[in-house]
Structure 1
Amino acid sequence: MFRTVKDFIEDYKDESQGTQKLLDLLTDESLTQAVGEGRRTIGQLAWHLIHDDTGMLRRIGLDFKAPAAKSEPPQSAAVIAATYRETAASILEAASQWSDEKLLESHNIFGEVWENGLTMQLFIKHEVHHRGQLTVLMRQAGLPVAGLYGPSKEEWEQMGMTAPK
């Protein structure tokens, strides 16, 4: 749970940069790749990382610019990546207006009472969870994957090394 706004901002800056690296590698052709029939495509999953369909941050009163919930994903990977960049910047700007005391306020989130600091932490974990799903779909689509917490296979190879198995 975040106890200071500064901690949230630092953590979200790092995590959103990782997400941005992945989104910047998407292609228009890859957006239809799904893990299986009836499952989210890369385009749907990437868009889910951008629009506020769960409303976690809005439910705690954070006011930021994002596409409307349940909006259809664009057919352009570049538009998705640019929209994420704008939304992440807007979240950081909105959070910077909060005081640390605001993190201690509580709200009903999905039928449970959570402090805002917890909601913000779980918002980031939610993004990381779906980012992991995105990397699997990217591999299935034949796309390179950016290293997030260490080098990816492609990045190991660029360093002239063999990736550990």
Structure 2
Amino acid sequence: MDIIKELLTEMEDEAAITRKMLALVPEDRFDWSPHPKSMTLKQLATHVAEIPSWVVMAVDQDELDFNAGSYQPAPLSSNAGLLTLFDKSYETGRAALDRLPATMLDTPWIMRGGEVVYLNTTKYGMVRHAFAQTIHHRAQLGVFLRLLDIPIPGSYGPSADEMGG
């Protein structure tokens, strides 16, 4: 089995689903949030759009220390900008995965906040973590859209909206 090829196929499949969901995010509701502890729609959609680029970190770095960086989310003002961000994130992540030698998949990889370790895995594990985060936050986005009464597309089959339910 060519694990890199399998991961690339999975990444492509998830990207197609994610792009359909992101395309529905309404600009006029960017500041909406379902709860004070929740991200705004714009924050969540931006996060979903950026996650595929985490694969670049998995490939090119051996750790991420949140305390060492000054991450700022990409500034967005439109749905078109959101989709452009996602397309760029996907392409850079896909290209990084495509150049990752399979022999490096078991290289240790750590996500931390200073001395606190959040994730102690391998490069393979971090790629899978990025995929899992995409799916998790895309599902949250689906709930946000549903709460805004926006029909959502199916992920792994038709949605209730597509079925006429």
- Same fold by TM (over 0.5)? yes
Q: Structure 1 residue 109: deviation in Å? A: 2.3
Question: What stretches of structure 1 of length at least 5 have no aligned partner?
Answer: 63-67, 158-162
TM-score by length of 1: 0.81
How many residues align? The count is 151
> Aligned equivalents of 1:6 and 1:90: distance in 2?
16
> Aligned equivalents of 1:9 and 1:24: distance in 2?
22
Does the Cα contact within 8 Å between 1:106 and 1:116 map onto a contact in 2? yes
Give the fraction of aligned pairs with identical amino acids, expressed as a percent. Answer: 21
Q: Structure 1 residue 108: deviation in Å? A: 2.0
Alignment of 1:79 onto 2:72 = no
Q: Following superposition, which runs of at least 4 residues in structure 1 exceed 3 angstroms of deviation?
A: 54-57
Q: Structure 1 residue 59: deviation in Å? A: 5.1
Alignment equivalent of 1:155, drawn from 139, 157, 162 = 162
Match of 2:67 in 1: none
TM-score by length of 2: 0.81
Alignment of 1:139 onto 2:141 = no
> Aligned equivalents of 1:72 and 1:115: distance in 2?
27
Does the Cα contact within 8 Å between 1:21 and 1:146 map onto a contact in 2? yes
Match of 2:103 in 1: 101
Alignment of 1:123 onto 2:130 = yes
In terms of fraction of residues, the more strand-rich structure is 2
CA RMSD of aligned residues (A): 2.4
Pair 1:116–1:72, CA change in 2 (3 A): closer
